[in-house]
Structure 1
Amino acid sequence: MTWKLFFTSSIGKKFIMALTGIFLITFLIVHCTINSMIFFNDAGETFNHWGHFMGSNLIVRTMEIGLFVFLLLHIVQGLILWRQNNKARPLKYAVNNANKNSKWYSRSMGLLGTLILIFLVMHLYHFWTPSRFGGMIGIKALDEVNLDVYNNETVHNLYAEMKLVFENNLLIVIVYILGVTSLCWHLLHGFQSAFQTLGVNHKRYTPIIKGVGVVYSLVICVLFALMPIAFYLHWIN
């Protein structure tokens, strides 16, 4: 089998999904760690410092391009596989034991992925686009969101921007929580599934991977959910 045939086959698509999924899982650790620095409650000094580093470092900016490529590839391949699986089984089985054979979220990866995509577009609009290109975020002008602190260089104050987005906008906070909840369900299946697709499937190690996946999914998503909640409830000053 040629590489072209492999990567266009169902197995090849799942292989790509697994590789890109693991890359994105790793990225979420970094992203969540840096964002969690808002909980230092130091008016965003620590968070802005590392946010500026991530936005100005050449290596990180180059990796950012790779991140978007992997993210788009993961989304496209996921939607293709979801569509193929639905077409392969156009009729429901006469006896449906889906609840016994698999978790509901493992059968709803396409739907969860779509909800996460909508949430991701909103997230990029609120934070990534203004930090890279400036301008408006749909709430108010960001004149107060620039902070001249790093070597006389005017940098984007992401901490102040998070306050603008979350502090007095309950609807946005709810949407973010729903998006993070969808991400949690997606990760609960995707974490273990990625390793299984890559051949890491052993009676001794699989339960450990599943356990790590559950802890990872809950910790990452609880931290992400607490960020908008903390700003809205003024836990952070």
Structure 2
Amino acid sequence: MKWSQFFNTSIGKKLLVGATGLFLCSFVLVHLAGNLQLLQDDKGKAFNEYAAFMGHNGLIQFIAWGLKIVILLHAFIAIQLTFSNRAARPVKYTVHAGNQTSSWFSRQMAIMGSILFIFIVIHLAQFWAKFHYSEMPMQTYEGVAHPLKDLYTVTYDAFQNLWVVIIYVISMIALSFHLIHGFKSAFQTFGLNHKKYNGLINFIGLWIFGIAIPVGFAIIPIVIYFKTSL
């Protein structure tokens, strides 16, 4: 069987979803580390330097465009699998089996994934597109040779809007639910389903990707909102 034929099968598509999902898990770790610099009390120097590096480094830009392709691929194949799975099951069986054998998280993957996809589009339009294609305020810092685009101030301005904060927090709740099931499922798809290491996989999936990372992302707009409101 050719590779193109294999990846058109259900198993092949599940492997692609799992692989792209794990890649995106690594991305959210890096992205959170960068975004947490918004909370430093340095007038945005660390975050703006980080944004400048991410926005102008050739290798990073190549990876960033690859990331966008991975997101689209992950979403497209996941949607295909969702519809094909529903079409393959009688309605009565689906309801019964869903209640008996699948977790609540697995049954909500399509919904949570859709919320996340909409959030990503909004997030890119609000910050990434503005950083690359719009006029932005510039900021100078001692020890930095050139003025930097002040994405720090743009972000702080955005998170003074309570509705923006609420949307971000809701999206991070969706991310939490999506990762709790998705991280574990990706390893199961690759055949890594053994009592010897299932405990570690479940721990990382729940406490690191399912709780710590979404909470880390959610706390940023909350802190900024209250910091600028006081």
Range of TM-score over shorter length = over 0.9
Distance 2:91 2:120 in 1: 32
Partner amino acid for 2:102?
S
1:151 matches 2:120: no
What corresponds to 1:139 in structure 2? none
Residue aligning to 1:30: 30
Query: Is the 1:41–1:236 Cα contact (8 Å) retained in structure 2?
Result: no
Any stretches of 5+ residues in structure 2 without a counterpart?
none
Say whether the 8 Å CA contact 1:230–1:236 is kept in structure 2.
no
The residue that corresponds to 1:160 in the other structure is 153
User: Which secondary structure does the structure 2 equivalent of 1:24 belong to?
Assistant: helix
Task: Please show how residues 1-237 of structure 1 align to structure 2 within 5 Å.
Answer: 1-93=1-93, 96=96, 98-135=98-135, 142=136, 145-149=137-141, 150-152=144-146, 154-167=147-160, 169-216=161-208, 217-234=210-227
d(CA) in 1 for partners of 2:95 and 2:107?
16
Whether the 8 Å CA contact 2:49–2:148 is kept in 1: the answer is no
Offset at residue 39 of structure 1 (A): 2.0
CA distance in 2, matches of 1:208, 1:80: 30
The two structures, once aligned, show a CA RMSD in angstroms of: 1.9
Comparing 83-92 with 176-185, which one deviates more in the overlay? 83-92
Cα deviation, 1:139-193, whole Å, max 9, x if unaligned, reads xxx4xx32245423x43211101111111x1111111111111011000000011
- What secondary structure sits across from 1:4 in the alignment? helix
Q: How many residues are matched?
A: 227
Write the letter of the residue equivalent to 2:26. Answer: T
Query: Percent of aligned positions with the same letter in both sequences?
Result: 37
Instruction: Provide, for residues 87-116 of structure 1, a one-character-per-residue CA deviation record: whole Å limited to 9, x for no partner.
Output: 112412297253442221211211111111
Contact 2:82 2:110 in 1 (8 A): yes
1:221 is matched by which residue type in structure 2?
Answer: P
User: What's the TM-score once normalised by structure 2's chain length?
Assistant: 0.92
Q: Which has the higher helix share?
A: 2
Alignment CA distance shift 1:124-1:201 (3 Å) = same
* Matched position secondary structure for 1:8: coil
CA contact (8 A) 1:48 1:159 kept: yes
C-alpha distance in 2 between matches for 1:75 and 1:129: 21
Unaligned runs of 5+ in 1: 136-141
CA distance, structure 1, for counterparts of residue 116 and residue 91 of structure 2: 27
